Amino acid sequence: MSYTIINPATGEDMETVEHLSVEETDDAIERARVAQKSWAALAPVERAEALRAFARAVEGDIEHLAQLEVRNSGHPVGQARWEATHVRNVLDYYSAAPERMLGKQIPVAGGIDITFHEPLGVVGVITPWNFPMTIASWGFVPALAAGNAVVLKPAEWTPLTSLRLAELGMTAGLPDGLFQVLAGKGSVVGERFITNPDVRKIVFTGSTEVGKTVMRGAADQIKRVTLELGGKSANIVFADADVDKAAATAPYSVFENAGQDCCARSRILVQKSVLDEFMEKFESAVKNVVVGDPTKEATEVGPLVHAKHLESVSAYLDKADIAFRGSAPEGPGNWFAPTVALSRGLDDPCMTDEIFGPIVTVHAFEDEADAIEISNATEFGLSGSIWTRDVGRAIRVSRAVESGNLSVNSHSSVRYNTPFGGFKQSGLGRELGPDAPLHFTEEKNVFIPAD
Ligand code: NAD
């Protein structure tokens, strides 16, 4: 079955992609199973060199990958270049891992005891549509580095850069079948990753709802899972903060990628005494956000990914108490102007739901305890920011907010060299950082007697 990809900025058909069947998925998993054996048997330095060659192939294709993402996902070209470069960086970073999969030598009586990190076999990576190539790389690169094969299913709307990455892996000389991108439906290819016993681990990034289905299915075979799910993160602005900077940067903490970001700070909590000052400065910052044609260098925010998603985000306009909006183009394309809503209370759908679009809700708080309580009044716990000039408060609030990734007086994005993942229903396990390859291994303990 073929599926038509639509350019979200123009509404025009781009190309068709073949969707795989269950049988084709099984064939691919079998090829991956075979390829993994010879990959794991290579000398560590050979696997390291293969990943470095893959990094160089991506490096040579950065502009092409970026342009593909602009057309498939509507990402502004500057952002898309950052994403392609990030994939190159992830490959370079983890190319050092095969030669550093260190075990332990543990003192025991009567001999020696050593541990090994054995690869799992075939790993299934399932990705969402919001950051197709970067999120793919967080799964497939450390998995390969640890000696596994990977089958990757991209989201239906945005498969093109992932398919290109598989081609680049082949060009760089990765063994046939080691890294395959299988375009298809979640209910077909994704489901088969869960039920096929040769897939030993699933790395799933997507909605909390589907993540629960993946976890339930994985339980049948005690299949390992890493889950990167939804978010409703808070950007907390205290009265003692640099309010100018907090207001000027807030649009980019939530409207980047048109708000289609699991780390979007989609709730802004502002201390009451500076609410008016913040809102005035925030309004002029929001009005200056450049929403438009993603092929233009100056564009900061592109369209929403798909007409169906535009419909789901737009439904919140009727539920929101809108304070002000930025601007967006009219005409063909999935355009939505950045929107700032005032909170109607903690049960307001704009305060509770991951809208996953350019809508942010502002809620006033009294004091530090109140800010922490409101920040944690959500099932999610992925990201967040804390604005204060009081170092002690920055430490206290960072420790008290139930979230995996926080930044103080900044809105840091994901770094490949630091761990990333969620508390509560935002996920399970961690990606990236120095330990990521270990999450694609089993620890084995071996005792050898001295006699
Ligand atoms: P989604 O859950 O609808 O789909 C994600 C992927 O799962 C897609 O590839 C889809 O085809 C597949 N899928 C769907 N049903 C499946 C099933 N039954 N079995 C196996 N696979 C199935 O999510 P989406 O709409 O593509 O992405 C948006 C969501 O992703 C948001 O909730 C966002 O917060 C989340 N996200 C989280 C992170 C993170 O790191 N925490 C990063 C990006 C996006």
Give whole-number Cα distances, 251 to 267, 298, 429, in Å.
11, 16, 29
Biggest CA–CA distance in the chain, Å, is 81
* Residue 39 Cβ < 6 Å to ligand 1: no
Residue ID of nearest Cα to ligand 1 atom 14: 186
Query: Does the beta carbon of 381 lie inside 6 Å of ligand 1?
Result: no
Specify the residue with its C-alpha closest to ligand 1, atom 28: 206
For residue 47, the CA-to-ligand 1 centroid distance in Å is: 30
229, 261, 426: residue to mutate for ligand 1 pocket, most atoms within 8 A of CB: 229
Nearest C-alpha neighbor of 35 from the set 150, 118, 156: 150
State yes or no: is 262 an active-site residue: yes
**Residue ranges of the chain whose pLDDT lies below 70:** none
What structural domains and CATH numbers belong to the chain?
Answer: 2-229+425-449 (3.40.605.10), 234-415 (3.40.309.10)
- Residue showing tokens 């398919």: 163
Strand 224-228 versus strand 427-428 pairing type: antiparallel
Q: What is the pTM of this model?
A: 0.98
Give the single-character DSSP code of 223. -
Question: Among 272, 288, 267, which residue's Cα sits nearest to residue 340?
Answer: 267
Q: What is the reported pLDDT for 412?
A: 85
154's tokens: 């991209």
DSSP-assigned beta bridge partners for residue 339: 325, 359
List, in order, residues 6 or more apart from 47 with CB less than 8 Å away: 39, 98, 144, 145, 147
The secondary element (H helix, E strand) that includes residue 361 is strand 359-365
Can you give the pLDDT at residue 1?
Answer: 82
The pick from 75, 126, 260, 263 for probing ligand 1's pocket by mutation, whose C-beta has the most ligand atoms within 8 angstroms, reads: 126
- What is the Å distance from ligand 1's center to 391 Cα? 37
Between CA 434 and CA 45 the distance in angstroms is: 18
Q: Is 434 helix (H, G, I), strand (E, B) or coil?
A: coil
Crossing angle of helices 160-171 and 62-73, in 10° steps, is 160
